[in-house]
Structure 1
Amino acid sequence: MSWFVIIAFAAAVIGFCLGVGGLISPKWRMGLTRLMPAKPEGAAEFRATFGGFFLGAHAAAMLGILFDRGVVGASFVLAAAWGASASGRLVALALEDGTRHKSNYIMLVIELALAVALILPAAEFFLT
């Protein structure tokens, strides 16, 4: 297993842990995202989207990496998703008042770092 794949696996573990946290404690994810549901039933959205989706997507990538099945494809998909998140945050920082806050810059760096870490297996595949 190359260092690129190990780094991608570590990034997938981070996403998986974010999913576990969102599934177990939607209030924790609400605090992390600085969002609150408009109605009490909105907590289900945090468990589903910030919990289950993160957990499932990153678990699939981890399994693909561990069993050497679809490493490039799985990590590429997650890299694209994290890159798209970073792109959305950049648009918000550029166009929306009140978004230029330290927390948004920190999250931008984290999203970009995860995107880069997860693209490494695909880069290695295409460059070798």
Structure 2
Amino acid sequence: MDTPILLTGVAAGIGALMGGASLLVPRWGASVVRLMPDPRWPGGWAEFRALYGGGFLMAHGSVLLTLAMMAQAGRNSVVAAGFAVGALWLGMAIGRAVSMLADGKAYQTRTSYNLFSTGFEIAMGLALWAPWLRHIGG
């Protein structure tokens, strides 16, 4: 297996594990993203299980499925699935960076946690984009 495909598989595995953990233990997902359900609106834990759990598990699981089916579906299936999920991670990095710049003083978003998380999100996004980057680079 070549390096871009391996990077995509590792990142998809990490994302699927994070999703599975959030699905089974939503309190863990809430602690990772540093959010809590609003007590004024019942049902907030379902959001952690839905978005951070089921959403992340299925999105990253889709990439893993394209890897498992690459012989039948072709390499381009991995390129496309990895691109879509990588765009999600890079979009999160952009949003977090904008928040650190725009909201830093008012909401104290300039933290080492957010700096680390931005780097992690960029790394995950680029790892998932590795086959696409190789594809457009020749």
Tell me which interval the TM-score lies in, with the shorter structure as reference length: over 0.9
Partner of residue 49 from structure 2, selected from 32, 44, 47:
47
Larger radius of gyration: 2
Runs of 4+ in 1 over 4 A off after TM superposition: none
Deviations, residues 72-111 of structure 1 (Å, cap 9, x unaligned): 0000001111110000001000000200111101110100
Q: How far has the Cα of 1:65 moved from its partner?
A: 1.3
Larger mean CA deviation between 60-69 and 15-24 belongs to 60-69
- Write the distance in 1 (CA, Å) between the matches of 2:134 and 2:79: 9
- Structure 1: segments with no counterpart, 5+ residues: none
- Write the distance in 2 (CA, Å) between the matches of 1:121 and 1:45: 31
Percent identity over paired residues: 35
Partner of residue 108 from structure 1, selected from 90, 102, 118:
118
TM-score normalised by length of structure 2? 0.89
2:102 corresponds in structure 1 to 95
Query: Aligned-pair RMSD on alpha carbons?
Result: 1.0
Deviations, residues 52-82 of structure 1 (Å, cap 9, x unaligned): 0000000000110121131000000011111
Between the two proteins, the alignment pairs up a number of residues equal to: 128
TM-score normalised by length of structure 1? 0.96
